Amino acid sequence: MAEKTTITIIKCDVGSLAGHHVVPSPLKNIAEKSMQNAEKKGLINSHFVFNAGDDLELLMVHQKGENNPEIHKLAWDTFTAAANKATELKLYGAGQDILKSAFSGNVKGMGPGVAEMEIEERKSEPIVVFAADKTEPGAFNYPLFKMFADPFNTAGLVIDPSMTGGFKFEVFDVFENTKVVMKTPEEMYELIALIGTPGRYVVSHVWRAEDDLICASTSTTKLALIAGKYVGKDDPVCITRGQHGLPSIGELLSPFMHSYFVEGWMRGSHWGPLMPVGLKDSRCLVFDGPPRMVAIGFQVCDGKIATDDEGKPLIADMFDDPSFDLARREAQEYSAVLRRMGEFEPARLGPESMEYTTLPKVLEKLKNRLKPAE
Ligand code: F6R
Ligand code: MG
Ligand code: MG
């Protein structure tokens, strides 16, 4: 059997230019050099460095499998070097997501977010990787449901016989640290009942039901280790596989034709409309947002990303297209509606899911003035 190929995306907020809005070029350059060296050494076969707002994203294609200590160490060392540079430049939030000082074999639980997918390459293997800033992994619940379970989004569910068997969703409960696999279309209503609460129930994997072919993987890794305790939002990443018996690339992108609401805007404490953007607009500005998502398309070919004539990976910047203008426009309008409400819910998240809150302090201050109500 042919060697399997692994797609790994590991992200980390190592510091930003002018607040929390973008990863500047000196940090990306460090990442690029580190990835090039790893390629020369044969550790990875291909890479692509980009940013989702203030998160530095390392996309690596290799043949070492998921959770490989060498691959995770490479990411960790790259982020540490970039964070040192950020400290040197006094960038804002330098080393923000480097939560531990010593590496112990896997970046999970150490601050960075990870999504991985080990695959047996099909005859042709189209992939889309999504990365977002100012939101959380549950932000993928709604689009993943639409891609793999909603026949109004994915025509293939109705007219491609290899998809009519449905899909299996693995749902992770952040509070209880449990997971459950649910099958659509049979359990569609129960699935929505859970994942409609994206702050608690997060889709972590999706498989095609008839043959358990893996087709989506998200970054619930950090959440898994901190389950039961709220420690804030983790800007998420997601890998999806498309075509030939899976949703087409166009069906994977269709959920983003419209904006939808996600948790995590400004101070991790507000609802915000998701804005799909091209890489050039991958920076969070108004009220530190609105929450943005980029999408990177490529073909996996013999353990690598398919390349151009110069050997550079062929990367498609999927949201850099006028067909997402409507969603961007909606995101601007919805932003204005929410911001008009200031700190009144539902613009602000409920107290249980806010990343920052002064509520206990306010209550403490009022303690002596609180009287039993009649
Ligand atoms: C960071 C983020 C930002 C910050 C905000 C306040 O990823 O989402 O919205 O929470 O800019 O940042 P501090 O507390 O560092 O001044
Ligand atoms: Mg930051
Ligand atoms: Mg971020």
- Return the best residue to mutate from 135, 235, 266 for the ligand 1 pocket (most ligand atoms within 8 A of CB): 266
Percent of the chain with pLDDT strictly greater than 70: 95
Per DSSP, the chain holds a count of helices (H) and strands (E) of 10, 16
Q: E strands, the chain, where?
A: 5-12, 46-52, 55-62, 113-119, 125-133, 167-173, 178-184, 201-208, 213-218, 237-241, 261-264, 270-273, 275-276, 292-301, 304-305, 316-317
Q: What integer pLDDT is reported at residue 222 of this predicted model?
A: 56
Cα of 54 vs centre of ligand 3, distance in Å, is 5
> Which tokens in the block code for residue 270?
């507000």
Where residue 224 falls among pLDDT bands split at 50, 70, 90?
Answer: low
Q: What integer pLDDT is reported at residue 148 of this predicted model?
A: 98
Is residue 27 over pLDDT 50? Answer: yes
Q: What integer pLDDT is reported at residue 351 of this predicted model?
A: 82
What does the pLDDT look like over 265-320, one tens digit per residue?
999 899 999 999 999 999 999 999 999 999 999 999 999 999 999 999 999 999 99
Q: What integer pLDDT is reported at residue 1 of this predicted model?
A: 47
Where residue 234 falls among pLDDT bands split at 50, 70, 90?
Answer: confident
What does the pLDDT look like over 158-167, one tens digit per residue?
999 999 999 9
Nearest-angstrom CA–CA distance, 41 and 35: 10
Please give the model's pTM, rounded to 2 decimal places.
0.96
Q: Which residue lies with its CA nearest to atom 12 of ligand 1?
A: 267
| Least confident among 51-65, 104-118, 228-242 | 228-242
Q: Which residue lies with its CA nearest to atom 10 of ligand 1?
A: 267
Residue with tokens 């939002």: 233
Most confident of the ranges 93-107, 173-187, 342-356: 173-187
- Check residues 305 and 363 and name the one with the higher pLDDT: 305
270 lines ligand 1 (CB under 6 A): no
Cα 300–116–244 angle (5° rounding)?
Answer: 45
What is the average pLDDT value for the chain, to the nearest integer? 93
Cα of 21 vs centre of ligand 1, distance in Å, is 9
Q: What integer pLDDT is reported at residue 352 of this predicted model?
A: 77
